[in-house]
Amino acid sequence: MTEGITVNFRLNGAPVSIATAPGRRALDLLREEFGLFAAKEGCGTGECGACAVLVDGEAKLSCLMLAAQLEGREVTTAEGLGTPEAPHPIQTAFAALGAVQCGYCTPGMTIATAALLAKNPDPDRAAARVALSGNLCRCTGYVKIVDAVLAAATALRGEKS
Amino acid sequence: MTASAAFPRADALSKATGRERYSADVTPPDCLWAGVLRANAPHALIESLDVDAARAVPGVMAVLTRADVPGTGLQGIVHKDQPVLCGRRVRHCGDPAALAVAVSREALAEGLARIRLTLSPLPGVFDPASALAPDAPLVHPGREGGNLLSRGLMEKGDAPAALATCAVVVEDTFETPAQDHVFLEPPNGVARMAASGVLDMVVSTQAPFRDRFEIAHALGLDPRRIRIRAPYLGGGFGGKDGATVQCLLALAAMQVPGRWIRMAWSREETFLAGYKRHAAVVRLRLGADADGTLRAMTCRMLFDVGPYAHLSTEIMALGMEHAAGPYRIPHTRIEGLCAYTNNPVGGAFRGFGVLQASFAVERAMDALAARLGRDPAGLRLQNALRPGDANGVGVTAEPGTDVAACLEAVMAHPVWTGRQAWKKAAPPFVRRGVGVAAMQNAMGYGRGLPDHAAAKLELTRQGTFRIYNSVPDMGQGNASAFVTLAATALSQPPGSFALVQPDTVLCPPAGSSSASRTTYTFGNALLGACRAMAEKLKARAALVLLCDEPARLVLAPGAVADPASGRTVPLAMLGGFLSRDDRICVDQFVMPVVATPPDTGKQFRLGFPHRFYSHGACLCAVEADELTGQVRLTHCVTAVACGRVLSQAGVEQQIQGAAAQGAGLALFENMALAKGRIRAGDLGAYLIPTALDLPDMECLALEDDEPSGPMGLKGMGEVGVHGPGPAVAQALGDAVGLWVRRLPVTPGDVLRAMEEPAP
């Protein structure tokens, strides 16, 4: 691959700089250059949402973004939300409420949830379903994922569930 | 001894935080890329295949065609008829014509684009009935039997004679479509042929131990020199039971030894080349007395195999075994046929032939209920199979055959009891309906094919435990269930257990992750290993405690304790003191089979009949839009009887997920096959349910006990998929008078039904 440009952005809270081809997919950049594998490729065409990451707080499909589009942005992957030792409340809720089965869609789901809760801290089930409608899951039937979104919202508002 | 509900699942947090490494995330440094040129023609002869230009592309390391394939060149699980690379003949659009290996994705794509494949099209066969016509084009010319892969008969009593004397007989033909698994992680893996001649592969697979033999047979390798590792799968549902990338990847590794090579199918390639649930056509006659008592049924099931056998005959056999539904029918005659076509390859998919059978018999029950003027739920309850009854093929139903209890559970639900008021309250331009279905799904491989697993459990030097999981976890949560079982059996906290995921070198062998068998069979083997471990730990601790009655010692969290003296020996001390071999316990289990099989189905030597079943009932409510014909599933309630509930949330996960797949098949999923070509071959056109398409589905798990099961449980990963198809069909009959013979139901079907005058 020709090393065309240098892209500077913030990744999971830290500034990064990487030389890459401008046409490289953001998804490949994150996975192959930074070893961040939370964003997954489920379709490569923007249909499944498994590759979602936060870009300046918005859920974006990294399989449809090019490396150059990350310039100057704040990028957060599911790894940046939390760790197994110190999980984000959204991650805790997904794990605790059975929203995780094969788990391949889960990082993308948690990103979509983070974007939703930043805008709407108290969504109802219908609003959660709309927010998750760009993320496909084949294991759960979505019931427990919606449960987790609402539980995470409660936790983030500082209320007891 | 009871198991505590282990939630969160052992794998949940590592997955939720994006740390879990799937096969797709394994990226050895300097990994090469392998890929395939698909023929993209349903039936054709290869006139020429020119790979010279592709080989000349910078970065392309190898381009292989059929002539480069060693061994038999044929893959397959039971029947080996699927070429690793196709030779002269192309039999479906997904057939691989050539394999390339390159240093990068870009070089690989360029190489594949430079291959010149010239085809001369042949007439094809695109439905199983046409395939069996005398003058049909042959998918495998020269093959004895032509396009008929297999046929079978299961019989009990004299169904044709009994039907002739029934007060009521209904008859119809029902069709279910091919269905794509749409696991979120497309098939992929990495492999390396080491200088020592050992092939090392990490792959998204449901059957690592069997993969070795499939690869070895196809490519002339020694199965003992193949190592397969299977990390957590990003979904499987049957679609990763049998080689996907395995043989191609092994072939690439043999050609370019010493280097790691990755193959990852795109979503479109997965649609094109992956296995599908078989499309099937089922003709069924069902007869009853005037009071609704079932007397006899005859059934003819025709499966669209596609061009390669895969597990078609075995899938057909299981479908036939379930053809009479969870009902008491004294006389049955069930015929099955598998026909080769030039459609996509049929294979295993959650339900394994049972869904096709279940849709037909449930619809026939609806037809019978309509004819008799009966409530469809009551008619089912009247005929529900009970313990001690002979099932559809003459096997005595086990204790725990709780179809009736499941039906009663959904019939007591407000969605059923309040249905008339709910229907009357429909808003303008909306019609509402409610439907109910019963279901069953056998567990395990069946008689003649040992359903086995061996489990290895290790005490670490630190006094914790390591479970060597031999059956892949494709998301169903078996790995986590194993932790719960072992933690309960050994009285240790779940956090004391680490899991080693399937590895044919480190783990003892086990069958596949399939057939609702995974937790039952491996779980039993693991509990055996736990018993051996408990006995060992007590015996070794007794030496430390100078106790000559090891049996009086008990396991406590992190220790072995002597209740008599109050003294304890920390497991960490025992772990440090035992040799490695002494820290390991292994046991195995084979699922019990039907002791005296019925005198039928003799041609199915592998996997007939089955002894254990899980049962269920499903209630669906729908709203049909009078203006658009769109159908919305508003309620879905599934009751399930599956032995002991080890984890309520775990059972709900399986039931809700299965119901979602069943609802997808009923209302959305359609590959739009036309002359062997998938017209809806990506996720933009092939629609699986999104969060907006499904209601908050409910699961009622009935507590029961299966004495042979690990802590009383039975397998239940599949049974839930069978409900929504027939329940939605019945609900649409209720709502708009539509008589559904074929899935998926389209808005056009619904609009036409509403245009017809009421009968």
Q: What is the pLDDT of residues A87-118, one digit of tens each?
A: 999 999 999 999 999 999 999 999 999 999 99
Cβ within 8 Å of residue B337, ≥6 positions away: B128, B132, B148, B150, B151, B300, B301, B302, B303, B316
pLDDT at B758 over 90: no
CA distance to partner chain A, nearest, from residue B288 (Å): 37
pLDDT at A2 over 80: no
pLDDT in tens, B139-169: 999 999 999 999 999 999 999 999 999 999 9
For the CA atoms of B107, B111, B114, B120, the dihedral, rounded to the nearest 10 degrees, stands at -150
Q: Which two tokens stand for residue B299?
A: 């059934």
pLDDT at A52 over 90: yes
- C-alpha–C-alpha distance, residues B344 and B95, integer Å: 9
Asked whether B494 and B534 are in contact (CB, 8 A), the reply is no
pLDDT at B4: 44
pLDDT at B671: 97
Query: Which of B13, B181, B696 comes nearest A143 by C-beta?
Result: B696
Chain A residue closest in CA terms to B28: A32
Chain B residue closest in CA terms to A95: B12
Query: SS3 of B573, please?
Result: helix
pLDDT in tens, B440-455: 999 999 999 999 999 9
Domains of chain B plus CATH, in order, are 23-122+187-264 (3.90.1170.50), 276-446+598-755 (3.30.365.10), 452-590 (3.30.365.10)
pLDDT in tens, B205-225: 999 999 999 999 999 999 999
DSSP symbol at A30: I
Q: How many residues does chain B have?
A: 759
- C-alpha–C-alpha distance, residues B654 and B264, integer Å: 27
Asked whether B245 and B263 are in contact (CB, 8 A), the reply is yes
pLDDT in tens, B220-278: 999 999 999 999 999 999 999 999 999 999 999 999 999 999 999 999 999 999 999 99
pLDDT at B2 over 60: no
Q: What is the domain partition of chain A in residue ranges?
A: 5-80, 89-156
| Cβ–Cβ pairs < 8 A, chains A and B | 199
CA distance to partner chain B, nearest, from residue A67 (Å): 16
Q: Cβ of A106 and B661 within 8 Å?
A: no
Q: Cβ of A40 and B104 within 8 Å?
A: no
Query: SS3 of B185, please?
Result: coil
Residue B527 is inside which H or E element, if any?
helix B518-545
Mean pLDDT of B508-524: 97
Asked whether B525 and B482 are in contact (CB, 8 A), the reply is no
Residues of chain B contacting residue A107, judged by C-beta atoms under 8 Å apart:
15-18
pLDDT at B71: 97
CA-to-CA separations, B9 to A96, B24, B138, B591, B709, in angstroms, rounded: 8, 22, 50, 26, 21
- State the pLDDT confidence band at B7, using cuts at 50, 70 and 90: low
Q: Helix %, strand %, coil % for chain B, to 5?
A: 30, 25, 45
> Homologous superfamily of A89-156 in CATH?
[2Fe-2S]-binding domain (1.10.150.120)
Q: Which two tokens stand for residue B616?
A: 């269920």
Cβ within 8 Å of residue A108, ≥6 positions away: A39, A40, A48, A49, A50, A51, A52, A78, A135
Residues of chain A contacting residue B477, judged by C-beta atoms under 8 Å apart:
101
Q: Amino acid identity of B318?
A: L
pLDDT at A1 over 50: no
Q: How many residues does chain A have?
A: 161
Which of B39, B27, B32, B347 lies closest to B183 in space, CA to CA?
B347
pLDDT at A123: 98
Asked whether B341 and B136 are in contact (CB, 8 A), the reply is no
Query: Which of A77, A136, A139 comes nearest B690 by C-beta?
Result: A136
CA-to-CA separations, A111 to A103, A114, A115, in angstroms, rounded: 13, 5, 6
Query: Which of A104, A135, A141 comes nearest B659 by C-beta?
Result: A141
- C-alpha–C-alpha distance, residues B518 and B512, integer Å: 7
Upstream peptide bond of B8 is cis (omega within 30 degrees of 0): yes
Q: Which two tokens stand for residue B175?
A: 């069709």
Q: Which two tokens stand for residue B750?
A: 């619904």
Chain A residue closest in CA terms to B6: A96
- State the pLDDT confidence band at B759, using cuts at 50, 70 and 90: low
> Homologous superfamily of A5-80 in CATH?
Beta-grasp domain (3.10.20.30)
Please compute, for residue B463, the number of CA atoms within 13 A of its CA located in the half-sphere on the CB side.
17
Q: Enter the pTM of the model.
A: 0.97
Q: Which two tokens stand for residue B612?
A: 């254990």
- State the pLDDT confidence band at B1, using cuts at 50, 70 and 90: very low
Q: Amino acid identity of B466?
A: R
Query: Which of A78, A96, A145 comes nearest B8 by C-beta?
Result: A96
- Mutation site for B-interface testing, chosen from A11, A102, A137, A142 by largest number of B Cβ within 10 Å: A102
pLDDT at B756 over 90: no
